[in-house]
Amino acid sequence: MWSRGNNQIYLMGGFLREEMRASLQGAAKLVVIDPKRIDIAKRADIWVHPRPSTDGALALGMIKVIIEEKLYDVDFVTQWTVGFDKLEEHVKTFSLDEVEKVTWVPRAKIEETARLLARTKPLALVVGNGIERNINAFQQLRTIFILRAILGDMNTLGGNICMTPPPYTRLGNFFNLKDSVRMEKMKNKQVLGPEYRVAQGAAYIPIQTFVKALLDEKPYPIKAAVCILTDPLMSYPDTEATYRAFMKLDFTVVSEIFHTPTTNVADIVLPAAWGAEHDTVGYWPGYHEEIRAYPKLVDPPGEARSDADWINELSAKMGLAGVWKSEEDALDFMLKPSGVTWQQFKKIRSFDGKREYKKPEEGIFKTRSGKVEIYSAAMEKFGYNPIPTFPELSQFRFEISAEFPLMLFNGKEAAYMLTGYKQVEFLKKRRPHPIVQLHPDTAARFGLKEGDWIYIETKKGRIKQLLSLDPNLDPRLVFAAFGWYFPDEPGDLYEFRRSNINVLTDIDPPYENITGAIELGGIPCRVCKAE
C-alpha cells in the first residue's frame, strides 16, 4: 500500500486504524510518502520524505524505473491505456539523478520504492489533500494515477477499487445545471475565473480569484457574502488581503457554532445547529460511496438552526424554484432513488457502496475512449500538456535563499478540526499552544531550543509559535501549526494575526492554469527567537 498526503491512522477514524493494523499484522507491505515522519510512517516498510510539492516529479521518477525495468502490467497497459508510448518516450528525456535533485530523495530509494510497488500484488495507492496545494497540483495527481494505472491493480481484490454507490440524489446534480443562470454566465465568461476550466466544471472559484475580485472590483464588484462551514480570515491564503477584501463587503452573513475572527467582521451571525441537533444525511468521505443517517438527538439551543433549514426558508421567501416544504422533504428528495423516506432511513442507518469488482470492459473508466488516458486529447485541446512532464513538475514558485534559508509547510492537527473548536476546553488542554517543529540541528543553528517562542517570517509577514524539536524532520524544513487564533483574547479579532500561518502566505501569481491552485506547500522562510 502507498499512502501520500493522507494520514490514515492519525486522522481518518478508528475503523481505518483497525483495518490498517490488521493488514500490517499480516503480510501487507506499506510505503508512506510524506515530508514528515507521521505516525503511520513508523509502521512503514519504506518511508520516503520528499521536498514539499515534488510528489509529481517523484512519481514520474518511479514511472521511469518501472517502464525501463519492464515492471508494469503489460496486458493492462496494452488493452486499457491510451498514450503509453508517449509516456515511454518522455521518461527517456530525464535522469533519476535529476529527480533526486528536485525531490531531495536519493536515487537508490526511488528505485527501491518503485520496485516494491511494482512487485507487491495487489497494490492500493491512497492519496489525500497534501498533494493538492501547489501550482502543479492537477498534473501531480494525474502522474500518481498514471503510476497506479500502469501497475494494473485496477478494481481488484485488495487493490484500488471502484465502489458502486447506492442510489441517491448526489449533491453534484445541483452544480452547473444545464438551463441555470450560472451555466449561461459560464458560457459568456461572466463568472470569476473562466480560464480555470476544470475548476469551473466543479462550480469551484479559486480563492485568490474571489479575494482579488473583491479588492479590485473586476470583472464586477461583489457586494455580499454568505459564509457556511468556513472561516476565511483564518483559512484563506494571504490573511491581510482577505481581511481587506471582507471589510469592503456591504453585507456579510456567517453561520457558525462558535464565534471566530470571521464572525467578528460579519453583519449577521446565524447560530448553527450542530450535527446531532438536526436530521441530516452524511456522505463523507465520498470515496467510501456510502450514505449514513444522522438523526437529531437533542434540540438545538436558542435560535440555532441547520443550514439546510434556513437556506430553504430563505429561498422560499425569495421566490426561487425547487424549494422544499421542510428539511425532511429535502432529505426525502435526496433518498428518493433508493425507494425509502427519511423516516425509514433513520432505522436502516446506512447504505453502503458495493464492491462489485467490475472489469474494464464493463465500463469502469468514464472517459471518451473508455480507457485510462495517459495522453489526454481533451487536455491538449484546452491548451494543457496532454501528459505530465518532468520540466513542468520540476518548476516551483519558490526556492530557499540566503535571506529565507528554510522551507515552510504544514499539515492537519489531530487536536482540532482545521480552524475550528478552539473554544473547547478539552481540546485546549490537549493542545494549548500553536506548535512549530524544527530539526534539532536547525534549532541550534539559529540559537533556539525546545519550548522557545519563535518567530516564523516570510516576505509577507511574521507570526509566533512555540518550538518543538523533531529529529526526523529534514533540517531544511519548518513544520508549522495551522488555523490558530485565541478566543479568550478579544483584541484584534481574537489575535487572528499572532500565530495564523496564512499571514505568511500570499495570493500572487503564478497559479496553476488548470484549477487555479496556488503554492502553499513549500514557502521560503526564516526563524528566530521571539521577543
Beta-strand ranges (E) seen in 190-341 are 224-228, 251-256, 268-271, 280-282, 291-294
Are 372 and 410 contained in the same domain? Answer: no
Structural domains counted in the chain: 3
CA distances from 479 to 359, 367, 413, 448 (A): 43, 39, 11, 15
Query: Residue 232 in contact with residue 262, Cβ under 8 Å?
Result: yes
Whether the predicted pLDDT of 102 surpasses 80: yes
**Nearest-angstrom CA–CA distance, 439 and 36:** 11
Are residues 199 and 122 part of one domain? no
* Mean per-residue pLDDT over the chain, rounded: 91
More confident site: 20 or 115: 115
Q: Does residue 397 lie within any of the structural domains?
A: no
Query: Is 396 among the domain residues?
Result: no
Shared domain for 494 and 518, answered yes or no, is yes
Question: Where does the pLDDT of residue 15 fall: very low under 50, low under 70, confident under 90, or very high at 90 and above?
Answer: low
Domain interval for residue 247: 171-351
Rounded to 10 degrees, what is the CA torsion of 418, 521, 512, 504? Answer: 80
413 and 502 part of one domain: yes
- pLDDT tens-digit profile of 134-169? 999 999 999 999 999 999 988 888 888 888 889 998
pLDDT tens figures, 213-268:
999 999 889 999 999 999 999 999 999 999 999 999 999 999 999 999 999 999 99
- Please indicate, yes or no, whether residues 343 and 377 belong to a single structural domain of this protein: no
Name the pTM for this structure: 0.93
pLDDT band at 172 (very low <50, low <70, confident <90, very high): confident
Evaluate whether residue 260 is within a structural domain: yes
Taking the C-alpha atoms of residue 369 and residue 373, their distance in angstroms, rounded to an integer, is 8
CATH assignment of the domain containing 450? 2.40.40.20
3-state secondary structure 321-352: CCCCCCHHHHHHHHHHHHCCCHHHHHHHCEEC
Is 151 found in the same domain as 253? no
